[in-house]
Structure 1
Amino acid sequence: MKQYNFNKNFTDFRKNLNLAEQDKLSLTDARKIIRSTIRVTFNEMPEKYFTDNVQIVLTEFSKGSDKRIKPKFRTQGSFVYNTINKPENPPIQRMDLDDGVYLPLSYTDNTSDNFQQSAKIVKNIISNCVSDLCNDKGWTLETNHSKCLRIIINPTSHIDLPIYSIPDDQSNTIQQDSAEFSRMEGLERVLSYNKAEDVLLAIDNGWIKSDPRDIEDWVKDTKDRFNDFIYYSRYFKAWKDHQWNESKFSSIMIMAGISQAMSEIGYSKNDNVALNLSSIATSLKLYLNNAGINHPVKTERMDGDLSNKDEIINRLDDLAMNLFTATKTNNTQLLIDCFGDRFPNDTGNVLNTGVVAPAIITSSEPIRQSRSDFI
């Protein structure tokens, strides 16, 4: 039986998902303006946004001689991982750039009432100053996200601002990253650091322990182990965006599931990309049906709160089946149905005349039999 591969189609598909240079420039130019606005607010004109009561609270945690907090910045997320895709359905879906705002603070007890209160204070200060900026630029500020502020730049893109505190004696770890940023690409430009020990994220009612560099380390390690990890993540993200305008089946959850599948003892990579993706889709379905998708840096499952889990499992079933069937029938439409019109409508190439055999994943967990369980 002939076996067809669509490796070139997937390569061209990836190119169709790439951001245009103007899109990247729009995001990075906006990031530069936002950073400058926040720096000026804290360093040059605090009197505009700092009431006397706010100043009293923040002075307690400001170690410098001028008692001013000097923000630092660090980009994180898909823009750094190189997993960002052009959105299929804007403005519901948008390109996003996550730019962490790091505030060097001096404290000995991060559970004190005053310190917990400082999270709300700094979040309000930054919200107020970027609100004025948004009014000037015609952007839109969203403050209803518990873990970040969101600035909508245009219908296709937004910038998220998670706000962190970092011990002031460890703030050089952020400064070093900023210096390296302009000379390096992707993950490499942010992974050169000495890990800070106590990075906290501002939420609505205080600080919680959260260091995005834990995820960055994991992405870098997984990428080093599996060369196709980033590419496969982009394909599955594009599949998700074609299937749903909005979904709680998050990008990081998808990436964790892909890593979990590729790390299985029985995983054997095939030269046929469609067969690899079919096998991984089957594994994702298996995880959702049983023990779950494991968090990459925490000891917990990520999919416990998925409200439409059965629907996701069914569509993963369809994805696995279509990918596998396309390699036998050379039917590109099966792949377009899964990934959308951005997937090239070109016929596949004959790979060989042997038996079609997908990458194999074995598991100690029981597999729910269905029409896509080919193995």
Structure 2
Amino acid sequence: MQFGSYVYLIIFMKRIPFNIPPVAGREFDYLREVFEQREFSGNGPFTGRCQDWLRGRIGASDALLTQSCTAALEMSAILAEVGPGDEVIMPSFTFVSTANAVVLRHGVPVFVDIRPDTLNIDEAKIEEAITPKTKAISVVHYAGVCAEMDAVLAVARRYGLVVIEDAAQALLSTYRGRQAGSLGDLACFSFHETKNAMSGEGGALTVNNPSLSERAYIIWEKGTNRRAFKLGTVDKYTWIDCGSSFLPSELTAAVLLAQLEQVERFNEERLAIWDRYHSGLARLEELGLIQRPSVPVHCTSNGHLYYILVERERIRDRLIEQLQQDDIWAPFHYIPLHSAPAGRRYARTHGSLDVTDDASSRLVRLPLHAGMSLSAADCVIEKVERYLRR
């Protein structure tokens, strides 16, 4: 029995939580090495090993660990040279960090609608939202399914825009055989405890446009040319650009390395639950009671999350309440950013966001994590079917 399954059976027999962070098995060994080596601050040996893993596995030109995906998004906004009044096109159906990174540079998030099938940004609506102030396009690979990147990149190249992938949920997902995080100019990953590989908090920035790599390292190390100094290309290091303390500690990197080494196993376990939900809930979709997730044939998912769309918001709220009464924790997801107070203050919308509003009001996320048993998934399916048929 895998360690995660053991934890699940012993601790959570009477309830089904939405998430249990996975344990790979070597975290304590690697943490012990950090203490033995007495190298605790960022950019040490474990940071390097994680970055090598990301470069090799994703195929990015460069990779830099960060304290969070939020930090990686903030670095991306700096690298895209977002400044006062500059606009970045993005979906409203996303976490606040996607927009906050732009607002912190005094830029303007421009929200466009999402597709009704994948809930990713509607690539057909991007071009009409472009103005002379547009600086970048930020796409979100929702639920571990990549956005339609060929179309996004084609528009970006016509207008000379930077493409940023918010790949927080998409580690090892693919689009037309290419890894998420290798598709845009820049990409941001999350290693929060809810993600497929986790370090409690943590993130990474991958750089696919080589012209941005050198500046990325400068921003990453507080705006200094410390890396060039360590490489011997300058005789002293100094402050040369804006930046911040984006590096995580070696303790975080040590935990993350253990997780990255096992993330393919974690993904397989998640996908087994994902498939169980998908087959078990097919009948409800045939009856018109739900809409199941859609994964285009040219994409592969990492099984990050499984959601259903019920008929209306009232049913969504009642379903969540009923599941909680049975100790099954199934939350809704984002409140669209355009409807939030800060969204109305700092951002603008382009066109109708009807799909965003509709989907966000009907969406329920089902429990899913590495180590979850198929019998637990069957229990969730049985309860969902009972409530919705009723």
Give the TM-score of the pair, scaled to structure 2.
0.24
User: Rg: which structure is higher?
Assistant: 1
